[in-house]
């Protein structure tokens, strides 16, 4: 198997691997970098469980080849915040009971982050259509929508965090 060198900044850290050219980004994150918070829920790019940010925009990492991330800046759920220092979205999901089994949650939070970077104060309808690409079987979405609205009221993105790379 011939491999290709891949370098990308992941959650602020420079990472480098030799990868199979057909390796999917989600598998690079999960299997090679150990960032297992990004999940896989389908094989057709429908569920959004694998959502992460590539140069500030939400992408479904199961639909991106790892090599396409060459030189890019990637953000995953692990880079959002820690237990001691939660990102406002993470805090809001807990506050509003926006998760049950937690499987869709990292993808939801990353998709919501992508949405809030484009639209910092979305309406309920905008949140709903903004999260249309992410499936949740547990929550019925009600509390997910509330979580995103709550986070947007608390500044959406933590004030201290780097905002570079965000797309307008």
Partner 1 sequence: MEAGTSPESTETTNGAPDGWVGQAIKRKEDPRFITGTGRYIDDMTIPGMLHMAVVRSPEAHAAIVSIDKSEAEAMEGVVAVYTADDLPVEGGIPMVWDPPGVEVNTPEHMPLKSGEVKCVGDPVAVVLGTSKYGVVDAAELVIVEYEPKPVVVDPEAALEEGSPLVWDQFGTNKTHEWALAGGEDVGAAISGADVVVEQRIVNHRTAAAAIECRGCMAEARGDQITLFSSTQIPHITRFLMAGMLGMSEDHIRVVAPDVGGGFGGKLNTYAEEVLVCAISRKLGRPVKWIETRSENMSNTAHGRDQIATITLAAKSDGQVTGVRAKIVSDLGAYFQILTPFIAELGFPVAGGCYKIGGIDLHFTGVFTNKFATDAVRGAGRPEMTHWIEVMMDQLAQRLDMDPLELRRKNFIPTDEFPFTTALDITYDSGDYHGTLDKLLTHLDVDEFRREQAELRERGIHRGLGFSTYVEVCGLAPSRAVGPQGVGLQAAFWESAAVRVHPSGSATVYSGSSPHGQGLDTSFAQIAADRLGISPEQVDVLHGDTNQGPFGWGTYGSRSLSVGGEAIARASERVQAKAKKICAALLEAAPEDIELAGGEFRVRGQPDKTMTMADIAGAAHIPPNELPADIEPGLEETAFYDPENFVFPFGAHACIVDVDTETGKVEVKRWVAVDDCGPAINPMLIDGQVHGGVAHGIGQALYEQVVYDEEGQLVTGSFVDYALPTAAEVPMFETDRQETRSPVNSLGVKGVGEAGTIAATPAVVNAVVDALRPLGIDYLDMPLTPMRIWQAIEEAKGRGEGPRATEQGSDAGPHGRGAAGSGPTHPDGGGVA
Of 92, 77, 102, the residue nearest 149 (C-alpha): 92
> Does 62 help bind ligand FES (rule: CB under 6 A)?
yes
64 binds ligand FES (CB under 6 A): no
Nearer to ligand FES, 45 or 121 (CB): 45
Secondary structure, 3-state, the chain: CCCEEEEEEECCEEEEEEECCCCEHHHHHHHHCCCCCCCCCCCCCCCCCCEEEECCEEEECCCCEHHHHCCCEEECHHHCCECCECCHHHHHHHHCCCCCCCCCHHHHHHHHHHHHHHCCCCCHHHHHHHCCCCCCCCCCCHHHHHHHHHHHHCCCCCCCCCCCCCCC
Does 43 interact with partner 1 (rule: CB under 8 A)? Answer: yes
Select the binding partner of residue 165 from ligand FES, partner 1, none (C-beta < 5 to 8 A, by kind). Answer: none
Of the candidate residues 4, 40, 68, 161, the single one contacting partner 1 (CB under 8 A): 40
Least Cα distance to 115 among 167, 67, 165 occurs for: 167
Query: Which residue of 36, 46, 123, 163 would you call a contact of ligand FES, by CB under 6 A?
Result: 46
47 is a site residue for partner 1 (CB under 8 A): yes
Q: Is 154 in the site for partner 1 (CB under 8 A)?
A: no
Asked if 95 touches partner 1 (CB under 8 A), the answer is yes
If phi over 0 gives left and psi between -120 and 50 gives alpha, with beta otherwise, what is residue 123?
A: beta
137 in contact with ligand FES (CB under 6 A): yes
The residue within the footprint of partner 1, chosen from 140, 155, 162, 167 (CB under 8 A), is 140
Question: Could you tell which of partner 1, ligand FES, none binds residue 62, using a CB distance below 5 to 8 A set by kind?
Answer: ligand FES
User: Which residues form the interface with partner 1 (CB under 8 A)?
Assistant: 20, 22-23, 27, 30-31, 35-44, 46-47, 49, 76-78, 80-83, 86, 90, 93-95, 97, 99-106, 109, 124, 127-129, 131-145
């Amino acid at each position: 198997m011939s491999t290709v060198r891949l370098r990308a900044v992941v959650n602020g850290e420079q990472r480098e691997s030799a990868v199979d050219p057909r390796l999917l980004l989600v598998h690079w994150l999960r299997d090679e970098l150990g960032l297992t918070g990004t999940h896989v829920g389908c094989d057709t790019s429908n569920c959004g469980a694998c959502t992460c940010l590539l140069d500030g925009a939400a992408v479904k990492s199961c639909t991106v080849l790892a090599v396409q991330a060459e030189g890019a800046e990637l953000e995953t759920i692990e880079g959002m915040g820690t237990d001691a220092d939660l990102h406002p979205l993470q805090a809001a999901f807990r506050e509003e009971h926006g998760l049950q089994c937690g499987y869709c949650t990292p993808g939801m939070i990353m998709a919501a982050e992508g949405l809030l970077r484009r639209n910092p104060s979305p309406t309920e309808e905008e949140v709903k259509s903004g999260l249309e690409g992410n499936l949740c079987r547990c929550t019925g979405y009600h509390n997910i929508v509330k979580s995103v609205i709550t986070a947007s009221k608390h500044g959406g993105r933590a004030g201290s965090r780097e905002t570079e790379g965000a797309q307008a």
